[in-house]
Amino acid sequence: MDERKPPGRSTVTRRAILDILRNSMRPLSAIEVHGILRAGGGRQSLSTVYRALDSFTETGLLIKGALEDVAHYQINSAKHTHFAVCTRCKSVVPLKGCPLKPAQVADDGFEVRGHSLEVFGICGRCRGSCNNGFVSPPRAEK
């Protein structure tokens, strides 16, 4: 009883987008989804991807959260994942499990369909001996 029927018309592109997210081990940005579509030989436009993702998110099929300041989407299932972001080196590590109990946050008439959570802090590497000059590259620089 986890997944509901996709909303709107069932097109090749929309089905492909959902498949990509179902098979992904992590949340994907619109641009990543678009890249995967194109890598598969598709010629879909980026705006189509954005529109589909928005549509799916609006119905609660997907959940949308900001990862490194860009929107990432994942299937709204019980086994979604959250991430911890190091505010020093910007590295991202997945959390084991979700600390929220399903109906924990419901207020007044609001029907909770999903949530997004990010944790901030200092990763082990950055804390270890406070080496701002890193030993191994935590993340590619811009």
| Residue 114 within binding range of its own copies, rule CB under 8 A | yes
| Residue 92 within binding range of DNA, rule CB under 7 A | no
Q: What's the angle, vertex CA 126, arms to CA 122 and CA 128, rounded to 5?
A: 115
81 binds, among its own copies, DNA, none (CB under 5 to 8 A by kind): none
101 binds, among DNA, its own copies, none (CB under 5 to 8 A by kind): its own copies
Give the Cα separation of 50 and 59 in Å (integer): 15
Contacts of 113 (CB under 8 A, 6+ apart): 60, 76
| Residue 7 within binding range of DNA, rule CB under 7 A | yes
Q: What's the angle, vertex CA 120, arms to CA 115 and CA 125, rounded to 5?
A: 135
| Residue 70 within binding range of DNA, rule CB under 7 A | yes
- Distance in Å from the first CA to the final CA of the chain: 42
| Residue 13 within binding range of its own copies, rule CB under 8 A | no
Task: Give residues in contact with its own copies (CB under 8 A).
Answer: 57-60, 63-66, 69, 71, 82, 84, 86-88, 93, 95-96, 99-101, 104-105, 107-125, 127-128
